[in-house]
Amino acid sequence: MKTGIELIAQERKEQIEKHGRTIFSDTDVNRSEQLRLGAIRLIVDSYDRECLNPNGWNIKAWQKMAAKDYKERLIIAGALIAAEIDRLQYVEKPDCLHNQYCDKQTINMKCDSQSGCNFQG
């Protein structure tokens, strides 16, 4: 059985790889509180949770997340919190991305453990 942190990491990986929710898209779409609000709204007991999608989010995707059982919503909420932390770190220092976000096929970057990731001209 996987631990909570393993389930959250797996969900975040799926958000990135399957749904294209990268640090770049998270920064573009979620300019302020959307990721945090999404996490909170997924775990709050509310009869109208499915109507509480954060501003700018796809309503159908939100409704699908909101309709999941409590454990699945907790996992998604944990991944959204991780995404918000990543977004904040990127906003604070955009020239230093974590290696996991350096997709060498879609953006021209050089990554190493010493200097992080740097755009290549």
* 47 domain-assigned: yes
In this prediction, residue 121 carries a pLDDT of 34
* 63 domain-assigned: yes
- Measured distance CA(64)–CA(68) in Å, rounded: 7
Contact call for residues 54 and 66 (beta carbons, < 8 A) = no
Domain membership of residue 31 as a residue range: 4-96
In this prediction, residue 95 carries a pLDDT of 66
Three-class secondary structure of residue 45 per DSSP = coil
Question: pTM to 2 decimals?
Answer: 0.73
In this prediction, residue 109 carries a pLDDT of 38
In this prediction, residue 105 carries a pLDDT of 37
In this prediction, residue 81 carries a pLDDT of 93
In this prediction, residue 96 carries a pLDDT of 59
How crowded is residue 117: how many other Cβ atoms within 10 Å of its Cβ?
Answer: 19
* 115 domain-assigned: no
In this prediction, residue 113 carries a pLDDT of 42
* 106 domain-assigned: no
In this prediction, residue 52 carries a pLDDT of 81
* 62 domain-assigned: yes
* 74 domain-assigned: yes
Give the pLDDT confidence of 25-53 residue by residue, as tens digits: 777 777 778 888 899 999 988 777 777 88
In this prediction, residue 50 carries a pLDDT of 74
* 102 domain-assigned: no
Q: Which residues of the chain have pLDDT under 50?
A: 99-121
* 77 domain-assigned: yes
- Measured distance CA(88)–CA(17) in Å, rounded: 20
How many domains does the chain contain in total? 1
Contact call for residues 23 and 86 (beta carbons, < 8 A) = yes
